[in-house]
Amino acid sequence: MTNIPLLFLPGMMCNHILWQYQIEEFGKDREVFVADFSNGSTIEDMASKALEAAPPEFIAVGLSMGGIVAFEMWKQAPKRILGMALMDTNAYADSPARKKVRERQIVEANDGALEQILIEELKPNYLAPIHRNNKKLLDQILDMGSSLGVTVFEQQSVALMHRGDQMSILSKITCPVEVLCGKEDELCPIEYHQTITSRIDGARLTVLPDCGHMSSMEAPAMVNMMLRDLLARVEGGHREAKYA
HEC secondary structure over 115-160? HHHHHHHHHHHHCCHHHCCCHHHHHHHHHHHHHHHHHHHHHHHHHH
Whether 213 contacts 141, CB under 8 Å: no
145: pLDDT strictly greater than 60: yes
What average pLDDT does the segment 172-189 reach? Answer: 96
| Statement: residue 153 has pLDDT above 60 | yes
Q: Is the pLDDT of residue 244 over 60?
A: no
Helix, strand, or coil (residue 180): strand
DSSP secondary-structure letter at 214? -
Strand partners, 204: 178
CA atoms within 13 A on the CB side of 126: 32
pLDDT tens-digit map of 72-110 = 999 999 999 999 999 999 999 999 999 999 999 999 999
242 pLDDT higher than 50: no
pLDDT of residue 125: 74
Residue 111 zone, left/alpha/beta (φ > 0; ψ -120 to 50; rest):
alpha
**CB neighbour burial string for 195-224, b if at least 16 within 10 angstroms, e if fewer:** bbbebbeebebbebeebbbbbbbbbbebbb
Binned at pLDDT 50, 70 and 90, residue 119 comes out as confident
DSSP string, 72-114: HHHHH-GGGEEEEEEES---SPPPHHHHHHHHHHHHHIIIIIH
Q: How far apart are CA 104 and CA 124, in angstroms?
A: 18
In angstroms, rounded to a whole number, what is the distance separating the alpha carbons of residues 216 and 87? 9
- Say what percent of the chain tops pLDDT 70: 95
**pLDDT higher than threshold 50 for residue 1:** no
Domain 6-93+161-243 matching CATH 3.40.50.1820: the answer reads yes
pLDDT at 239 > cutoff 80: no
The predicted pLDDT at position 123 comes to 64
The pTM (predicted TM-score) of the whole model is 0.94
- Residue pLDDT, tens place only, 9-68: 999 999 999 999 999 999 999 999 999 999 989 999 999 999 999 999 999 999 999 999
Q: Give the residue extent of every domain in the chain.
A: 6-93+161-243
Number of alpha carbons in the 13 Å side-chain half-sphere of residue 226: 27
Report the mean per-residue pLDDT for the chain: 94
